Amino acid sequence: MQLNKRSLDNLVGVHPDLVRVVHRGAETTSVNFIVTEGVRTLARQKQLVASGASQTLNSRHIPGGPANLSHAIDVAAVVGGQVRWDWPLYEKIAVAMKLAAQLEAVPIEWGGDWRSFKDGPHYQLPWSSYPG
């Protein structure tokens, strides 16, 4: 699949290693997706925490590090032109993204692998490799 303009726009300001993974993942996925968010402001993060959609203000979406880049993205599965939130779709996207990360030699973390707050749309570069 090809990333649409909205997805490409939402990758502006995201660390180039993660951008490479997203492009490669889009090439290999069995489920179409869009990138819904890359760079996020602290004000937006506070809104998400207040609504329960996030649990931290220390988000990898908020730009940081020497280059002031975001280290996270969120995606949404698209089926028949409609955004879908069915968990199995996100597991399939994760397979493609993890393979893409391996092929690009870029470590990533998928929010769906987290123990306490499962976040299927979320991918980030790990703090240990990208302290930003």
Domains of the chain in sequence order: 5-124 (3.30.1380.10)
DSSP 69-95: BB-EEEEEEEETTEEE--HHHHHHHHH
**Within 13 Å and on the Cβ side, how many CA atoms surround 101?**
16
The answer to whether 111 touches 89, Cβ cutoff 8 Å, is no
The 10s digit of each residue's pLDDT in 42-98 is 999 999 999 988 989 999 999 998 899 999 999 999 999 999 999 999 999 999 999
The 10s digit of each residue's pLDDT in 13-33 is 999 999 999 999 999 999 999
The 10s digit of each residue's pLDDT in 97-121 is 999 999 999 999 999 999 988 999 9
Give Cα 17 to chain centroid, integer Å.
12
Tell me how far apart the alpha carbons of residues 93 and 41 are, in angstroms, rounded to a whole number: 26
The answer to whether 18 touches 123, Cβ cutoff 8 Å, is yes
